[in-house]
A and B are shown apart, each in its own frame.
Chain A
Amino acid sequence: MERDLSEKNPPEKQLSNNSDSSDNEENATNITTNLNANHHDHPETETCDQLVSQSPKAGVKVEESDNTRHEIEEVHHEEKENEEKIGDTPPPEIHYTLETVSQDIDQFITTLSATPKDAKETIVEEEKDEKAPMEIPVFVEKFLDLVEEKVAKHELNEGKGKWGQNPEEDSSFLEAVNRISKLTSSLDGLRSDPNHAALISRIGGIQQRAMACLEDEFRFTLEDIKHNDQDPNTDAKGKQHEADRCVLPESESAETDNFLGYSDDAVSKLNRIAKEMIGGGFESECCHVFMMIRGHAFDECFAEIGFEKISIDEVQKMQWEALEREIPLWIKAVKEYASIYFVKELKLAEAVFSNYSSISSSLFSNLTRSVLIQLLNFAEAVAMTKRSAEKLFKFLDMYETLRDSLPAMGALFSEEYENELKTESTTARCRIGEAAICMFCDLENSIKSDTGKTPVPGGAVHPLTRYTMNYLKYAGEYIATLEQVFREHSKIERADSTSRPRYESESQNFNNDNDEENQSPFSNQLVRVMDLLDSNLEAKSKLYKDIALSCIFMMNNGRYIVQKIKGSTEIRQMMGDPWCRRKSSELRNYHKNYQRETWSKLLGCLGHEGLQVNGKVIKPVLKERFKSFNVLFDEIHKAQSSWVVSDEQLQSELRVSITAVVIPAYRSFMGRFSQYLTPGRQTEKYIKYQAEDLETYIDELFDGNSASGARKRP
């Protein structure tokens, strides 16, 4: 068959004579019937037509082909002593150009590939015995000479970025490489034939050199990343570089950065090179270069963001203040990688390796996997640090970042990697979440362990209340996240531990009309914290000897708590109306108790009982009453003006309520009994205060003004 091809039907003859190709077809049919299918629809005829009609130099071609045939005959005369002799034969008179000879090569390749590979191999084996190898037309060598010349020219330019100066030349080089690759694969069947070894070796050599050129150009192009926000130094260098190459006009650097600093031209060049390298079987080299350079670029991204790699060991040893500064950088890194870099990297890989989706996806996955793991390791490392309540909010920031940024990224990866990365990011998120729960629950411990025996002066708001409530208020800003964290990451076994949330059983007693919120482990935990705080404050209130002051203390703290909770819509909602109502009624009770404790005794002085006997006012008793009223009031004033009610509303409520109780009683007492005292000396002595004076003094209460009272505070 091979002999038939070369002797009876030399390819060049087919080119000029279509009828021969049908001859060829007949021959083929004779050999093996099962080849029929292939032959009937192989594209040979069509290609020939195309070539003839398309080629502007069709005429020249026929001429050339004639010449070639002539030469082949010559070679035949020399009895084909040696394959290498072909090279030694004097150059043909007609001057080949790469363009013209390429068409012959295309035709030759088409013819070769028209014979199915396995058929060729069997034939080669059969033919081997007969020592009649397939003839290789001389233009193949000629073609190789021309390509070699071209390759040599390109080798001179290696790595200098000469590409792009002459787009036609680039295309022609790529086409030549393409032909070499096709030629290589179509000669695959002849590999084991020693007669063609030299030729195949030569083609292999040229192909390798050409591929090396492509690889260099590929690398050069990939390394030529333009950063928009570079410092002027590098920028200037870059521009100078561009100027050297005269490739990219200024305007291009301003265009939108679709491909991580590569121009569209560069990407299309990379794509064309990749296609030829992969087509020629140099996929590994191409991918290797891509991995290397893009990997570096990823590292640089880390540096650009300012996120530095820290070992897990180091993270454990860092001060929180230092670590706290790293967290926003980490968040920024995760967000930027997830939303920008990864997306663009995939786009780049897909653009460069278009039509090779498995290559682009595996390159992308390999490139990004380690970056992601690195980022997740930081989260793991932070989650492992000593837990303390102050870290909670930074942890929640991290949690939110992992929750929001990573899932969208999953779609970028192939399924295999997606699953792995999903597991990894879920694990990291769990750890952060679990740590956050511990931290929040630690609030319980801080409340429990606050067992100081020194009462706050003046019954003011206790620092523990401030701390706890401000913490909760801040937590209110993260309420959705906290709820999610508690719902998803609470461990069942913790329910039985003393220091862990107990949301199953207790703390649901009074939240009855809010069933939905009872479902939320976080709201239960919140209620637990509030209850603990309440009982702790109650214990603290017992530290005051004066019951009235302990009431004021409870009112102060209670009011503070209610204000803070009302100040945060989320927390207020979570605590629910019943809680607020209960709290208000508690406060009212404290208020009542306070009034009773402080003012009922005073009001007792103004009672009418015992002052009159048979309708007659007993003056000494009256004098005694006025005296004790004055003393009592002075005492109260002195003591309670040093007490602290910093909530203005509460302060004025208290004063108003005191005034409302005291002033009318005093006025009526005065109105009724002041006449019994002798005006002048007696009046001056016993009626120390006018009602207006009392009002003024009442308005001085709860100022926290210890100076006004000479006495020591309780």
Chain B
Amino acid sequence: MPATEHQQSFLGRISIRRNQVIAMDGNHEQELEDLELFQRHTGDRFADLLSFPEDYPFTGEPFLSISWLRKLVDVLLCCEAEFKAVLIMGRDPSQILKPPLDRLLIDFMERAVKVLDICNAVSSGVDSIRQCQKLAEIVVSALEQKPIGDGQVKRSRKALSALMSALTIDDKENNHSRYAERTWSFGRRGSNSGGNHKDRATHGSFRSSSMVVAKNWSAAKQIQAMCSNLAVPRGGESTGLAQPVYIMSNVMVFVMWALVAAIPCQERSGLSTHFQIPKQFVWAHSIIGMQEKIGEEWKKKEKKGSAGLLEEIQRMEKLGQSLIEFADGFQFPAEAEKLEEVAARVAELAEICQRMEEGLMPLQQQIRELFHRIVRSRTEILDLLDNGKASQPII
């Protein structure tokens, strides 16, 4: 038996006095089973996420779509609940007070704090997507009209310019902004088209309606910091509580990383330098698979400089581009063929808007729920640690 387990048993014996823990051996077996289950459930949950139908985007929950992200956050919430049960429920504080678990938990809670900031940043990113949705809705309502005349085209063109500059925002542009708020300048760029009447640039800047985390805060750096001290448990640790702490940390890092990649977020340069999860873990297989997929997409994205990998955003961007082409070449009356094409695009754009309308608010609420859950768990773990510490010298 590894040394740590000896120690664990020893402390376990001591703890009987305090918590009246039932027969230690049975307890330990139960614990091993819990750990096993936690790993398996984690693996299963992520595997479900990866098994999306191939014929997306029109069926089910396409990869990185809003509904998929909601599932992803759900998975995190589930894992978190189970993790808490494994770690805290019926736990004797003395068990988690011994090294290296005490240090691992402190690292874990530091990660949890970073998750909170990321939740807030992502939530404000959702607000800015909602602004894009509003702009896209203008485009839809203008181009849905029949006949499509100059007025409709100009109106949509104006909204499209704003939309496209919001969508193709380059992270770097905003990094060095003097102010904390992310300024989504829109309007002037590429908006001088659409007939002899000069499109009015919507001056002023379009920022996400909610505020960003803080000056100089960087989502990418936070994620890097979260994985900086994330080490695979070795030796005796690998069968003990160090294992679920490690798994949960990875799950948190991955989900945060995916959210930051998908949704506009404050300062993301360097996001692609991602963390390594050793391949030997069964629970990690799907995560690694998704990580690779998102990583590739992100590299493409960084070149293009788009707002995020969110499936709806990507499609919106493509549609926006083609509608801009249509608008720029528009002459009244438009050819029937073109109009049909446009009608199809507008219908798709309307469908995206609808998805956003239905999905963004729940996603945001879910992220907020995650926020509260993490705060709560952190407090509970801290209480457990404090209790352990407080009780020790007195016993």
Contact = CB atoms under 8 A, between A and B. Distances in A.
Contact of B332 (A201, A420, A434, A497): A201
A279 B310 CA distance: 34
Nearest to A448: B394
- Most chain-B Cβ atoms within 10 A of its Cβ — which of A155, A212, A216? A212
Interface in A284-326: 284-285, 287-289, 291-293, 295-296, 299, 302, 308-314, 316
Interface stretch (A373-381, A534-542, A624-632): A373-381
B155 interface: yes
Contacts of A198: 332-333
B345 interface: no
Contact of A202 (B110, B113, B145, B149): B149
Given A288-B131, A288-B135, A499-B387, A309 B151 contact: no
B116 A284 contact: no
Nearest to B207: A295
Interface in B254-288: none
Interface in A154-208: 155, 158-159, 191-192, 194, 197-198, 200-208
Contacts of A316: 110, 113
Interface string B105-133: 00000100110110010011001000100
A374 B387 contact: no
A369 B210 CA distance: 8
Contact of B158 (A155, A192, A212): A212
Given A223-B204, A312-B116, A313-B117, A380 B211 contact: no
Given A292-B204, A299-B181, A314 B149 contact: no
B152 interface: yes
B5 interface: no
B176 to A, nearest CB: 17
A208 B151 contact: yes
B207 A200 contact: no
A296 to B, nearest CB: 7
A308 B212 CA distance: 11
A427 B372 CA distance: 8
Contacts of B394: 448, 498
A370 interface: yes
A309 B211 contact: yes
Interface size class of A (residues with CB under 8 A): 35 or more
A158 B200 contact: yes
Contacts of A299: 179, 181, 207, 211
Interface string B351-387: 0000000000000010010001001001100000011
Contacts of A369: 210
A449 B211 CA distance: 44
Contacts of B365: 420
A239 interface: no
Contact of A499 (B205, B368, B390): B390
A370 B391 contact: no
Interface in B51-91: none
B180 to A, nearest CB: 6
Given A296-B207, A311-B213, A209 B151 contact: yes
A366 interface: yes
A296 B206 CA distance: 9
A204 B134 contact: no
Interface in A198-249: 198, 200-209, 211-212, 215-216, 219, 223
A282 B212 CA distance: 29
A200 B147 contact: yes
Nearest to B179: A299
B166 to A, nearest CB: 11
B317 interface: no
Contact of B212 (A192, A287, A296, A309): A309
B102 interface: no
Given A312-B113, A312-B116, A445-B390, A373 B151 contact: no
Interface residues of B, number: 63
Interface stretch (B35-43, B214-222, B233-241, B291-299): B214-222
Contact of B149 (A192, A194, A200, A296): A200
B146 interface: yes
- Most chain-A Cβ atoms within 10 A of its Cβ — which of B197, B198, B205? B197
B236 to A, nearest CB: 30
Contacts of A366: 209
Contact of A204 (B149, B159, B209): B149
A149 B283 CA distance: 70
A300 to B, nearest CB: 10
A591 interface: no
Contacts of B147: 191, 194, 197, 200-201
Contact of B150 (A201, A302, A374): A201
B27 interface: no
Contacts of A497: 387
- Most chain-A Cβ atoms within 10 A of its Cβ — which of B135, B212, B386? B386
B171 interface: no
Nearest to B222: A313
A384 B204 contact: no
Nearest to B183: A296
B379 to A, nearest CB: 8
A242 to B, nearest CB: 20
Contacts of A295: 207, 209
Contacts of A208: 150-152, 154-155
Given A201-B332, A295-B207, A309 B213 contact: yes
Contacts of A201: 147-151, 332-333
A308 B145 CA distance: 46
Contacts of B207: 292, 295-296, 299
A370 B204 contact: no
A197 B333 contact: yes
A448 B394 CA distance: 9
A431 B376 CA distance: 9
Interface string A412-438: 000000001000100100010010000
B229 interface: no
Nearest to B149: A201
Contact of A384 (B127, B138, B141, B375): B375
Contacts of B131: 288, 291
A43 interface: no
A373 B214 contact: no
A287 B131 CA distance: 11
A285 B181 CA distance: 22
Given A219-B204, A311-B117, A370-B124, A203 B210 contact: no
Contact of B114 (A200, A310, A313): A313
Contacts of B214: 308-311, 314
Contacts of A308: 214-215
A310 B180 CA distance: 10
A155 B149 CA distance: 20
Interface in A251-282: 281-282
A47 B386 CA distance: 80
Contacts of A384: 113, 375, 378-379
Contacts of B204: 219, 223, 292-293, 296
Given A289-B202, A309-B215, A448-B394, 13 more contacts: A191-B147, A202-B149, A208-B151, A208-B152, A208-B154, A211-B155, A212-B158, A216-B200, A291-B131, A296-B207, A311-B217, A497-B387, A499-B390
Which 8 pairs show the lowest CB-CB distances between chains A and B? A201-B149, A370-B210, A204-B151, A208-B151, A205-B150, A205-B151, A204-B149, A311-B214
22 contacts: A159-B203, A201-B148, A201-B333, A203-B151, A204-B152, A205-B150, A209-B154, A216-B200, A296-B207, A311-B213, A311-B214, A311-B217, A313-B116, A313-B222, A314-B217, A371-B211, A373-B210, A381-B116, A384-B379, A424-B368, A434-B379, A448-B394
